[in-house]
Structure 1
Amino acid sequence: MNKNNPTSGVYFLANNKVFEQVVAFLRSFRMHNPTIPLCLIPFDSDFDKISSLKTTFSFSIFDDAELLASCDAISERFHGFVLGTYRKLVAWEGIFDTFIYIDVDTVVTDSVDFAFEHLKHGDYVASHSNLENIRCWVWKDSVYATHLLTPPQIEYSANTGFFVSRRGLLPMKHCVAKVNGALELKESMELECMEQPFLNYLIVTSGYSYTSLLQLLMVGIAPTVSLEWWAGTPNGRVDGGKLYDPRGAGVFLVHWAGFWKKSGGSSIGLPYKELWDFYRRPEISPDVL
């Protein structure tokens, strides 16, 4: 870290299994963010096809094997097996002083630079939080009866497919130290959503400030802020490589959380498929860029 020249960049997490999604993600990201530094966090050891794209799309690769193994060990405590989504925790020990993390079941439809500015409002900034229909994908109803978290901590329940934060906020030793406390809430976690409950637990018990772009919009702090759009939301209008919210809000990314798993990785029947196709270019063979 150079205090005289702080760096900002974006992390993404992937392996060969999601090659198609990665191509669409990278094409969309670089179309709208040609110069922002980008870094791959390997989901597991099977990422040679993804690595082959690094010159074309200009990204580096996170390669600290010890830190990645620590994330794998944490995932085993919750699931009984290694789950690579927990590896996004290494972002707090990565190369960027301020960073954005984005899941690859996403296409980016605008610049993401604006998101860094909102770190003045919180040390951790998600896109969406404090919505009941998200809370159920983080915590089960039984969490309230545990009294291990306060209602505001529970209700934050942020989507962890996109977030903005600062290097060093959650070092790996802190994450490891928090596992036992989090395990007391395991039965109330929606572990189908992988790392999302644990990451929410880390944030709301960290002592640092946290918010979301949606909350900043709702309270009037950022009345013109752009938001993410979940592909399960109807009535969006697609025009070229953009999606337009009928309510007039800006949209800077669209994500298909849950849809790829249901389809077994196929894009057939994907909501807003024409948007995904715009970036993936379906007329091109899957093995050709």
Structure 2
Amino acid sequence: MTAPAPEPGAPDAGSPETGAAGAYFSANDAVFDWTVGFLESFRVHNPTLPLLWIPFDDRGDRIAALADEYDFAPWEDPAFGRLEAIGRSLEIGLTPYGPHWFRRFAAFWGPLERFLYLDSRQLVLCDLAEFVAAPAEYGFDLMHFDCTLDQVYEPGEVRRAFLRRGRGRGFNSGRWASRRGLFDLETLERVGAECLAVRDQMNPRNTDQFFLNYACDSGSVREGRNERPIVAGHFAEVLGDLCRDAWSRQPGRVYRDAAGVYRRWDHGGADHAKRVPILHWAGIKLSPAMPEAELFYSYRNRGESGGRRALRSLRRRAERPALRWADRLRRQRHLNTLWHRLRGDAR
């Protein structure tokens, strides 16, 4: 990656005009296959929505080569270094690549006025316009999908204090909508210092996730002479007819109804027949045995000939039983403990 960095807040050549609505995504060459699937699904359902790429790190030549085909532009900012410094200060050695996640927060002063941020290990399964517009339309500063409090805050006074105030949702940081100007760099650096002071009450791994949650849970917005708390909300709770969680390993299966809308079949479950606008595989290895693998590969390999896609599908189906058996073994408690112990000894 050798593209020159623009001034903070200035769009690259090919970027949408400042004030436009659109989406950002983060990726590098290490997740190339995931990214092709993401881009295919994004453009199938959002052929004209502006899309900007935030390079995860300097390994992005293969991703950059996709820009014309999928109509996206790189978004690089001199603040990446300072954002990564926040991540390094919060890293305790479990996720050495974690500081790169903090680049995504440059979206808060990028060229898009209203935007979605999306990780690349997911599929977009619908027109995203309603999600980009939802925060402004319904009076929220930021909106999100999945919530798992333990993935954000450890038990402690910080968590309890937020919960007493009706905050502390613990939302996933891989897919959310907001607006330009909600945070600036100096505010985020101050939030980083506050998180560092209570690092033992934050999740050991998910540095950018607890950071964004803490910024929203503790932050405020100035309106005229007054300040009010930042208002964050869950898309499914606000819009309705949506699955609460976008993670692929939820109960049931994804299907497409007669109108072409993706929904989850989980008869008797809370999300039965509700829309699946986005599906993600965070923490799941790319494999023919992963949940909803055929749906993912239907987009990943969409540009290939029908015969090649059919052969690939047959190969995956043949590999799947052995891979799923190996996964069940790996998830068995005693074997998993032994595996991690042996790995630790090997190091």
| Smaller-chain TM-score bracket | 0.7 to 0.9
Cα offset for 1:214?
A: 2.6
1:88 maps to amino acid: R
Pairing partner for 1:70 from 71, 78, 82: 82
Q: Give unmatched runs, 5+ long, in structure 1.
A: 217-221, 261-265
- Give the alignment's TM-score, normalised by structure 1: 0.85
Cα offset for 1:268?
A: 3.0
2:263 maps to amino acid: Y
Summarize the Cα distance change of 1:157–1:26 in structure 2 as closer, same or farther, 3 Å threshold.
same
How many pairs are equivalent? 269
Pairing partner for 2:264 from 245, 253, 267: 245
Aligned to 1:212: 234
Aligned to 1:263: none
The answer (yes or no) to whether the contact 1:228–1:252 under 8 Å persists in 2 is: no
1:29 maps to amino acid: F
Deviations 1:45-99 (A, max 9, x none): 11111001000001111122x2111111111101155621111111101110011
Summarize the Cα distance change of 1:186–1:39 in structure 2 as closer, same or farther, 3 Å threshold.
same
Matched, 1:29 2:47: no
Pairing partner for 2:150 from 124, 136, 140: 136
Cα offset for 1:204?
A: 1.1
Task: Compare relative contact order (CA 8 Å, sep 6+) and give the higher one, 1 or 2.
Answer: 1
- Give the alignment's TM-score, normalised by structure 2: 0.71
User: Within 5 Å, which residues of 2 pair with 1:23-102?
Assistant: 23-64=36-77, 66-79=78-91, 83-102=99-118
The answer (yes or no) to whether the contact 1:126–1:158 under 8 Å persists in 2 is: yes
1:238 maps to amino acid: Y
Q: Give unmatched runs, 5+ long, in structure 2.
A: 1-8, 10-16, 221-229, 266-271, 303-307, 313-347
Deviations 1:123-166 (A, max 9, x none): 1111234xxxx01111122x337766443465311111111101
Aligned to 1:181: 194
Aligned to 2:13: none
Aligned to 2:164: 151
Aligned to 2:253: 236
Distance 2:264 2:240 in 1: 15
Pairing partner for 1:278 from 292, 295, 298: 298
Cα offset for 1:239?
A: 4.5
Distance 1:63 1:97 in 2: 17
Aligned to 2:120: 104
Aligned to 2:141: 123
The answer (yes or no) to whether the contact 1:123–1:210 under 8 Å persists in 2 is: yes
Distance 1:24 1:211 in 2: 28
Matched, 1:15 2:34: no
The answer (yes or no) to whether the contact 1:139–1:154 under 8 Å persists in 2 is: no
What percent identity do the matched residue pairs reach?
Answer: 25
159-168 vs 190-199, which deviates more? 190-199
Summarize the Cα distance change of 1:15–1:24 in structure 2 as closer, same or farther, 3 Å threshold.
same
Aligned to 1:219: none
Pairing partner for 1:267 from 269, 280, 287: 287
Summarize the Cα distance change of 1:75–1:5 in structure 2 as closer, same or farther, 3 Å threshold.
closer
Aligned to 1:255: 280
Q: Secondary structure at the match of 1:191?
A: coil
The answer (yes or no) to whether the contact 1:92–1:170 under 8 Å persists in 2 is: yes
151-160 vs 37-46, which deviates more? 151-160
RMSD: 2.7
2:81 maps to amino acid: A
Summarize the Cα distance change of 1:273–1:175 in structure 2 as closer, same or farther, 3 Å threshold.
same
2:246 maps to amino acid: W
Distance 2:245 2:108 in 1: 22
Summarize the Cα distance change of 1:237–1:206 in structure 2 as closer, same or farther, 3 Å threshold.
same
The answer (yes or no) to whether the contact 2:144–2:234 under 8 Å persists in 1 is: yes
Matched, 1:163 2:188: no
Q: Secondary structure at the match of 2:127?
A: coil
Cα offset for 1:194?
A: 3.2
Cα offset for 1:225?
A: 5.0
2:82 maps to amino acid: S
The answer (yes or no) to whether the contact 1:244–1:251 under 8 Å persists in 2 is: yes
2:282 maps to amino acid: A
Distance 2:206 2:71 in 1: 30
Summarize the Cα distance change of 1:176–1:30 in structure 2 as closer, same or farther, 3 Å threshold.
same
Aligned to 2:240: 223
